[in-house]
Structure 1
Amino acid sequence: MPPDRVRARRLQIADQIRAARIRARYTQEAAAIRAGLSLDSYNRIEQGHSAPRVDTLIRIADAIGVRLSQFVREDDE
């Protein structure tokens, strides 16, 4: 189990991914297909239950048409 601060940050990143997907008007299924992921894997990432590799985050960002940095920016930026 990761430390609380890591878990909290993972949830923030998951929220950023979800928000970007919704803004792009993709369903989870469409985003998963475009990123080459199973729906289950994509859902676990978006729920913060999975710690994706950077390569996977890049694929998700490309699939929904945003910069990778959008997922990891801090809330106060």
Structure 2
Amino acid sequence: MSYPTIRYSLADVVKCNGKNGARTWIVVHDNIYDVTDYMQQHPGGPEIIDEYAGKDATSGFDEFRHSSDATKILKKYLIGELKDVSIN
């Protein structure tokens, strides 16, 4: 059985920047991840994730050339997809 994918706008993501008690969401390859509960476990420290909180972290994620294990870990925090905001 498949479940519908939850889609969020970039404005929704921006609100989840980890400040003032907000959750910490990041976008990687148009997928949205709630990494709030992972930040303290991140091998590079929470500051690295905090830099991308509420933003598209794709370039940073790709730059660091994360391992396949890191990609598997990230999948555990998947909460939805970025809405298509392009105008046709």
Q: Please indicate, yes or no, whether the TM-score normalized by the shorter chain is above 0.5.
A: no
Q: How high is the TM-score relative to the length of structure 1?
A: 0.37
Instruction: Give the number of the structure whose residues are more often helix, by fraction.
Output: 1
- TM-score, normalisation: structure 2: 0.34
Greater gyration radius: 2
